[in-house]
Amino acid sequence: MTRLLPLSLVLVLLALPAAATAQEPAPAPGADTARAPLLPDPPSGKATVTIRIRGLDNGRARIMSSVPVVGSVKPYRPGQRVRVSYYLNGKRIFGKNVKVQKGKRGRGRFVSRIRLKRGGKYAASAKVRAFAGLRSDRTIRKSWKVTYKAVGYGQCSNVVAGFKKALRRMGYLPGGGKCFKGKTGRAVLAYRKVNNMSRNSHAGKGLVKRAYSGRGGYNVRHRGAGDHVEVPLGKQVLVFTKGDKPYAIYPISSGAPSTPTVQGHFEFGTYTQPGYNNLGMYYSYYFYGGYAVHGYHSVPNYPASHGCIRTYISDQPEIFKRIYPGLDIYVF
């Protein structure tokens, strides 16, 4: 015999399908389960940037030359810019923003240049930023080395000008301009004396390389003495320095073995003799009794004076002006 269900249960069962059909349909496999917020369309492609270093000879370029970095971007978009970065001995030194020009076959082209003012190993890289629907890209660094040449009296060039600037950074005084003159020769002589090289004014390829690379400066002995003068007799130079930074280095000739220069810590006094005296001493500035720093017509590359510190006649007026009463001088 069939039993009838209670009316209340029948009503509940009839309501269940209606509730199920009121729900969202089950998502299809792989379909998003939620609506994403509206965002800008992602870049549709990637720009590709490449560079080449021009003007090299077996991977090298001459010091003070201008080296072009030539590159391309694909695809080209009007208004594109590339950031070219330059490195020296692995350290980034500066960057340039370069405009991309329209080239052939849908490519863009750009050129950037660097002048090689210091010695060392150079490198360059480039980066194009995301632009006009394209993602960014960057190159690896491409490097090159530097070649040097000797310089000498009478030569005038950018290489000579850069060489003189390199010497000035270390405290030597080669004079200004682009020409190798007498003052430049005396600066080279001072450099050679400081670095225990043969004592002459020849600036060979190796010396030029050392100077451009910032090597060969004078190491101050009395670093905590403030503004003072040092005269290392073994090197035969006179050095003006502030703390540990030399700013004026001159070649000298000190006392001969039979009449040695007094050694120790002294101060310049007020006794001076501008011009020549009756002994041929030029612009004398005394620091201990009869011992003075003065110009003289003969300044050999070895100790030869009667005890004073001889300097070149052409240097001494400048030295005289740098000295003042109470300035410390260390002779050792």
Judge whether residue 12 has pLDDT over 70.
no
- Mean pLDDT value across residues 314-319: 98
- Mean pLDDT value across residues 170-178: 98
The residues pairing with 329 across neighbouring beta strands, listed in sequence order, are 229, 266
Question: What are the φ/ψ torsions at residue 209 (nearest 5 degrees)?
Answer: -60, -45
The residues pairing with 253 across neighbouring beta strands, listed in sequence order, are 310
Q: How far is the C-alpha of 140 from the C-alpha of 30, rounded, in Å?
A: 40
Q: If you write DSSP's letter for every residue of 226-246 in order, what string do you get?
A: -EEEEE-TTTTEEEEEETTEE
**Do the Cβ atoms of 225 and 327 come closer than 8 Å?**
no
pLDDT digits (tens, 9 = 90+) for 38-73: 444 444 589 999 999 999 999 999 999 999 999 999
Q: Which CATH number does the domain 223-331 belong to among 3.40.1190.10, 3.40.228.10, 2.40.440.10, 3.40.50.1480?
A: 2.40.440.10
Place of tokens 């391309």: 72
Judge whether residue 283 has pLDDT over 60.
yes
Lowest mean pLDDT among 25-29, 160-164, 263-267: 25-29
The conformational region for residue 114 under phi > 0 = left, psi -120 to 50 = alpha, else beta, is beta
Q: How far is the C-alpha of 288 from the C-alpha of 223, rounded, in Å?
A: 22
Domain 45-146 has CATH 2.60.40.10: yes
Helix (H) or strand (E) run with residue 125 in it: strand 122-128
Query: Do 45-146 and 223-331 show the same overall fold?
Result: no
According to the model, what pLDDT value does residue 45 have? 87
Judge whether residue 103 has pLDDT over 50.
yes
According to the model, what pLDDT value does residue 44 have? 58
pLDDT digits (tens, 9 = 90+) for 141-169: 999 999 999 999 999 999 999 999 999 99
Q: What is the pTM of this model?
A: 0.82
- Mean pLDDT value across residues 218-231: 98
Judge whether residue 229 has pLDDT over 50.
yes
**Do the Cβ atoms of 233 and 308 come closer than 8 Å?**
no
**Do the Cβ atoms of 243 and 223 come closer than 8 Å?**
yes
According to the model, what pLDDT value does residue 208 have? 98
- How much is the mean pLDDT over the chain? 91
Judge whether residue 287 has pLDDT over 50.
yes
3-class SS at 83? strand
Question: For residue 37, what pLDDT band results from cuts at 50, 70 and 90?
Answer: low
Domain ranges of the chain: 45-146, 158-212, 223-331
Q: How far is the C-alpha of 77 from the C-alpha of 231, rounded, in Å?
A: 64
Give percent of the chain above pLDDT 90.
Answer: 86
Judge whether residue 224 has pLDDT over 70.
yes
Q: How far is the C-alpha of 193 from the C-alpha of 268, rounded, in Å?
A: 25
CA dihedral 144, 150, 155, 158 (to 10 degrees): 20
The answer for residues whose C-beta is within 8 angstroms of residue 123's C-beta and 6 or more apart is 86, 87, 90, 141, 142, 143, 144
**What is the residue type of 53?**
I
Q: 101: which 2 tokens?
A: 């020009």
According to the model, what pLDDT value does residue 273 have? 98
Judge whether residue 1 has pLDDT over 50.
no
H-type alpha helices, the chain:
7-22, 158-169, 182-194, 205-212, 316-322
- Mean pLDDT value across residues 76-100: 97
Q: How far is the C-alpha of 171 from the C-alpha of 248, rounded, in Å?
A: 5
Q: How far is the C-alpha of 139 from the C-alpha of 124, rounded, in Å?
A: 9
Judge whether residue 265 has pLDDT over 60.
yes
